[in-house]
Structure 1
Amino acid sequence: MRLSRRSMLALSGAAATLPMMPGGLRAQGLSPLTMQAAWINDAEFAGYFLAMDEGYYADEGLDLTYLPGGPDVIPESTIVAGRADLALTTPDTTIKAIAEQGAPFKIIGAQYQKNPIGIVSLASAPILSPEDMVGKTIAVPPVNTISVEAVLALNGIDRDAVNIVPYAYDPTPLVQGEIDGSLDFTTNVPYTIGQLGEEAVSFLLYDFGFTTYNDTVVVTEETLAERRDDLIAWMRASRKGWNENFADTTLWPPRWAETHFAGTGRSIDNEIFFNAAQQPLMEAPGGIFAMSEEGIAGNLEALARVGIEGTREMFDTTLLEEL
């Protein structure tokens, strides 16, 4: 159930970002670690870019290779194939793979405490709750229809009371009044709609019962057993990068216009908007990547609503205890 966030963008120059020493030589004497991101290079991964550029991974003894994602990348497949040591995933796909296919995965952290997906609409005709969806036409990616149906059920709304149509990852029909709302990343699409001359509003599925994480940090059981110290080092460096990024959400995106963000077709103002919008969805009392018992239980309950039966054993919080 991989949500294709934002409109489909042609990604050029999607090369892995590698820590470099003066003269272009790869860092020496460090432990190599490869990370698979969940999407193309945008503000969703700002903390990792900062940690790479500021040498935080090298400080922790790691030589990090960063692999961008995209619409054709299945992060779990990358770690199964041995092309990456850890990946950022959606918990539904990971837990489904464990429960139904016996995949040897463990979830060791969660970037987003609240999943950013939600219903986006225009301020001139706002949809701010599941109840507001009644009688409306909502565009939803087919792979996410089950999530929207779960939210309707959780809120006592008849599925037939809402006209759900396929979403083509383009907010233009919403701006033109062809639909009333769409399911997308609430951290980014409102900016795109603003560029089209309309003001957008949104609500999270999370806030109405579909309580899932997003960008869960996933490794294989083998990697967890054999590279525990390296994984803790990665989490420590990444958390430092995110904390510094959130100290001023406007500071870092402009610095990456010709590096990490090059070739995406998106403006730096868009990335700044995204960066600020995601901050409250990521920060938690336990720090970046935290997974509370309440949060884990919320994920399992929400996924059970859509027929994905997970267990507490699929989550490992012991690395977080060592940060």
Structure 2
Amino acid sequence: MKKYLSLLLCMALFLSLALAGCGSNGDTAASGSSTAGSSASTSGSSESTASTAAPDKITLQLKWLPQSQFMGYYVAQEKGYYKEQGIDIEILPGGSDIIPEQQVYNGVADIGVTWVSSLMKYQGQGWDLVETAQIFQKSALLLVSKTKAGIKTPADLKGKKVGSWFGGNEYELYAMIESAGLNRDKDLKLVQQDYTMDQLINDEIEAASAMTYNEYGLLLESGIPEAELSKLDMNEHNVAMLEDCLFVNSEWLAKNEDVFVRFLKASIKGWEEACKDPEAAGNIVFNVDKSVSLEHQVYMAKEVAKLVVPEGFDAAKIGYIDNKAIQQTADYALKYGLLTKAADISKCVNSKYWEQAAAK
């Protein structure tokens, strides 16, 4: 009997140890499974974080209200080109009371669009701003008249009443007048021009300033046939000054080189698309701000495309900075008093980031 009880006790002890061992193995497996799950969860979380990383926020300040003059940026935004580059962009409209240089210098905006001569004025005052891409390769400024006025060359402006917006828009006109050997104070009468073109339509002046992509279109839309209009083009008379460019605060740029290059890549892509299909671009801009008719936005887009990618210009070079054209702009700005001293264009422009963005 004692042997039997001893045998039972041994068997019970053996069974207890076996169960304990199984329990231990089960806990280890469970622990291992938990660790693997935790690792997988961590890995998944990491991948999720990488794929959903917050985009870099950038603010772009325009020179004027939303219109096809700026269509490349709106197309890039609409088509998701900024998003592809990890950028969340806010495009700020301009206006008569908004100065892009001040907005960028004061940190309200990261990047700005302005005319080269205007930027040079602030650079000349010591503002640490730098041009980084030249979007318009040609001047859009025309001097327009009705054919009955007989103005076919700059010399024909003698004795005429000529409109100018002034405020920085007059320098090319001054250069054109002088190129014909005329004295702008004695040989003709320069008058303040409004933005409606009514003065020319109503024969209050004989020649008017007009941008190819805006006011010239207004004349056509007013019902005046193109055959009854004469144009003096600043580019053809070699007195052109460059207009729309991109610029930044140098201090901001030093801290944001990578994101800025990505911004340029997306912007160039947007401009390429807009210039290939300006009608579609005009529609996109119209839907941003329906302040003017769809027809005028499309007209504007087609004309702007000719400034961004002029005839014979390589579309792959959108944004290219032509130092010769920059120098001519600086020379006229100095000659007519916008600048108080000659601009050092080597310090005014920096094409390094455009070159990186444009590289295929």
Report what 2:109 is aligned to. Answer: 84
CA shift at 1:202, angstroms?
Answer: 2.6
How is 1:201-220 mapped onto 2 (pairs within 5 angstroms)? 201-220=230-249
Report what 1:57 is aligned to. Answer: 82
Q: Is the 8 A contact 1:51 1:241 kept in 2?
A: yes
Report what 2:131 is aligned to. Answer: 107
Greater Rg, structure 1 or structure 2? Answer: 2
Which structure's relative contact order is higher, taking Cα pairs within 8 Å and 6+ residues apart?
A: 1
Cα separation, partners in 2 of 1:71 and 1:201, compared to 1, 3 Å: farther
Equivalent in 307, 313, 321 of residue 291 of structure 1:
321
Report what 1:136 is aligned to. Answer: 160
Report what 1:9 is aligned to. Answer: none
SS of the equivalent of 1:177 reads: coil
1:117 partner letter: L
Deviations 1:65-96 (A, max 9, x none): 10011111111010112110010011112111
TM-score w.r.t. length of structure 2: 0.76
Q: Is the 8 A contact 2:68 2:281 kept in 1?
A: no
Matched, 1:277 2:303: yes
Unaligned runs of 5+ in 1: 1-26
Deviations 1:154-213 (A, max 9, x none): 342222212111112221120111111111312211221122221344333233233321
Deviations 1:139-166 (A, max 9, x none): 1113233442233223422222121111
Q: Is the 8 A contact 1:186 1:202 kept in 2?
A: no
Matched, 1:190 2:216: yes
Cα separation, partners in 2 of 1:190 and 1:296, compared to 1, 3 Å: closer
Q: Is the 8 A contact 1:120 1:186 kept in 2?
A: no
Report what 1:117 is aligned to. Answer: 141
1:98 & 1:302 partners in 2: Cα distance? Answer: 16
How is 1:208-247 mapped onto 2 (pairs within 5 angstroms)? 208-247=237-276
2:328 partner letter: G
1:206 & 1:302 partners in 2: Cα distance? Answer: 14
CA shift at 1:272, angstroms?
Answer: 1.2
Instruction: Report how many aligned residue pairs link the two structures.
Output: 293
CA shift at 1:36, angstroms?
Answer: 0.1
Equivalent in 89, 92, 98 of residue 73 of structure 1:
98
CA shift at 1:38, angstroms?
Answer: 0.8
Matched, 1:310 2:335: no
Deviations 1:278-316 (A, max 9, x none): 222112436211102322233223323223221122111
CA RMSD of aligned residues (A): 1.9
Cα separation, partners in 2 of 1:201 and 1:250, compared to 1, 3 Å: farther
CA shift at 1:123, angstroms?
Answer: 4.1
2:248 & 2:230 partners in 1: Cα distance? Answer: 36
2:270 partner letter: G
SS of the equivalent of 2:236 reads: helix
Equivalent in 206, 225, 250 of residue 180 of structure 1:
206
Report what 2:289 is aligned to. Answer: 261
Cα separation, partners in 2 of 1:303 and 1:225, compared to 1, 3 Å: same
1:301 partner letter: D
2:140 partner letter: P
2:109 & 2:301 partners in 1: Cα distance? Answer: 26
SS of the equivalent of 2:89 reads: strand
Using the TM superposition, name which of 212-221 and 248-257 deviates more: 248-257
Which protein has the bigger helix share? Answer: 2
Q: Is the 8 A contact 1:154 1:209 kept in 2?
A: no
Unaligned runs of 5+ in 2: 1-51
2:238 & 2:96 partners in 1: Cα distance? Answer: 27
TM-score w.r.t. length of structure 1: 0.85
CA shift at 1:119, angstroms?
Answer: 1.0
CA shift at 1:133, angstroms?
Answer: 1.6
1:220 & 1:208 partners in 2: Cα distance? Answer: 34
2:159 & 2:85 partners in 1: Cα distance? Answer: 54
Identity of aligned residues (%): 23
2:230 & 2:255 partners in 1: Cα distance? Answer: 46
Deviations 1:81-140 (A, max 9, x none): 2110010011112111111x2111101111111121221222444634322322211111
Deviations 1:16-42 (A, max 9, x none): xxxxxxxxxxx9611111000111111
1:129 & 1:70 partners in 2: Cα distance? Answer: 34
2:141 partner letter: I
